[in-house]
Structure 1
């Protein structure tokens, strides 16, 4: 009887020693092991994966350890990085807290007033998007899941359907995001910004404007104004000219049609045949000519009342404007501006 008990003790001790040896960390290394725990993976699969990755000696022992300690039910999916030599407790802690490898991100900025073509060029140069695909998708709103997209007019005269809707902002996305993902994010940002404007729908109805028309006016303001304080005043001039059935005659609408913007437009440039040319056509162009900032959108929604019908850029380096109620005053302002050069 004593012999049998002795044998049992020896066997138990041997088994315990084996289990203990299997629980010991593997040989330490400074070379991290990066692996992914897929969503829905159970503790058994995770244990086997850890053994295959060389992070533990025995998947079976790790399973037993988890069962004994009642652990593993809260392990999180994701990509992890661990160095060989980690203990069971360290592994459990990382998997339970979701201490995943930070995803590599790419950061980029879309300046206010950029056009679709400018965005495509900049982001392609920065290796964020494919230029041709960006331009193609700018005319395919059905490719995106954003509420307002369905309200963009179906108009063959639009140069780019999404012009003006890709919000100018600094973004950070996962590296390797597709061109469509990048544009989706920009459209979502536009939706967020628009939703932040108080009483937007009521004000649009009051002005008998669609969001598309508002955005078109805002884009004109964005391209015409540098001094923030003048945004609402310039917006008011645009409304005044429309209400008096005057052509807007905004240089930026002509610049939009040129392959490369010019420092100075010539009379021949003003004769470019296009529905966007506000020197030839009354009313608003078919759509936005750039992506306006939120202040320009708000200025278009809340224009400053005045009797002004004209404005000219000051040539004194201030980037401001001289405003006039009559054409005669406007001519005087032009002369005054030139004299300040």
Structure 2
């Protein structure tokens, strides 16, 4: 027999087994590559942004939020596909520790790196703001009307809050006397200033902001202002009332301490203040000139008819008016009249006779 026809040890299978093993390794390798390719494509899918288009997505990141918590919010809003994939991506990129809280607005389809950069930079959405000014010497009615006309807030609601004394945030509003004669408990306590507040601010928000401004401004007064106020036997409410009278009566800053002194001189002598501004406060609309009948209106605010200070402020005074009320200029003056020369200055007098002469002189100017 031909030796080549005989099978070797183990027969013909000795040559077939290695081929099968090699074929198995190729299959395994192909499957492994397929798994890896599938995994890569899966990861790529999870890291890719969801489809774009449509309205921007608004998202609020609360203060103190961790990166995984933020990832959950992003997933809920459809800005990422998986918070877990996002979290792993952050670790791989060594990111997520500098994310900033706030209100954000994201375009749909934003890339992951761009999203991370926006959170790192704190590119929050600025709230739409209203800018408005409360002029010095305005009453709460004028303030409410102004803010209503400008579309800032509901003027009627603000006026109701001022009447009841609700929403105030100043420490000094807690000491407002419980006096039924007060027309508006917060009269004088809404500080005149230029403000910038969010457009969605409520009347309560505005009252809180305007009253709280007093606490900031009072820090600008001399350190002994409260001691000086007590030396004169005044409460803050009374000092604010005097300041409001000065605000409505005097334009020139240098005259304000002198007019405050006149008010105190008349109070000490038991004289009625007879200040026109207190009568104007009671009218629906201010008049250029008061008539005799206007001075007869019955009200504790009418200082032609009632002795002492009115029950409360008649307007929102400036800080300079309050300073004048707390630091008045000493004099013997009991009277003053506005000069008619266009300077807005006053002519002061110690006696009624001299006052009459000043009145006559002012008419000739």
Where does 1:217-232 land on structure 2 (aligned, <5 Å)? 217-232=242-257
- Partner Cα separation in structure 2 for residue 156 and residue 26 of structure 1: 64
Where does 1:205-284 land on structure 2 (aligned, <5 Å)? 205-284=230-309
What SS is found at the alignment partner of 1:139?
helix
What SS is found at the alignment partner of 1:102?
coil
What SS is found at the alignment partner of 1:80?
strand
Query: RMSD of aligned C-alpha atoms?
Result: 2.3
Deviations 1:173-206 (A, max 9, x none): 1111110110000000012212332212211121
> Does residue 107 of the first structure (1) align with residue 135 of the second (2)?
no
Deviations 1:48-89 (A, max 9, x none): 543554534554432321243343354344321222443222
Pairwise CA distance, 1:44 = 4.6
Where does 1:92-241 land on structure 2 (aligned, <5 Å)? 92-198=116-222, 199-241=224-266
> Does residue 11 of the first structure (1) align with residue 41 of the second (2)?
no
TM-score by length of 2: 0.85
- Structure 2: give runs of 5+ residues left out of the alignment: 1-21
- Rg larger for: 2
Deviates further, 213-222 or 313-322: 313-322
- Partner Cα separation in structure 2 for residue 104 and residue 80 of structure 1: 13
- Structure 1: give runs of 5+ residues left out of the alignment: none
Aligned match of 1:315:
340
Where does 1:42-61 land on structure 2 (aligned, <5 Å)? 43-44=67-68, 46-51=70-75, 53-61=77-85
Residues 50, 81 of structure 2: 8 Å contact kept: yes
TM-score by length of 1: 0.91
- Partner Cα separation in structure 1 for residue 74 and residue 271 of structure 2: 74
Residues 23, 57 of structure 1: 8 Å contact kept: yes
Deviations 1:241-296 (A, max 9, x none): 11222111110011111111110011111111111111112211111111100000
Deviations 1:14-53 (A, max 9, x none): 4224323443455665964333345566545543543554
- Partner Cα separation in structure 1 for residue 300 and residue 280 of structure 2: 13
Pairwise CA distance, 1:5 = 4.4
- Partner Cα separation in structure 1 for residue 237 and residue 73 of structure 2: 54
1:306 equivalent among 331, 339, 344: 331
- Partner Cα separation in structure 1 for residue 177 and residue 171 of structure 2: 14
- Partner Cα separation in structure 1 for residue 123 and residue 342 of structure 2: 54
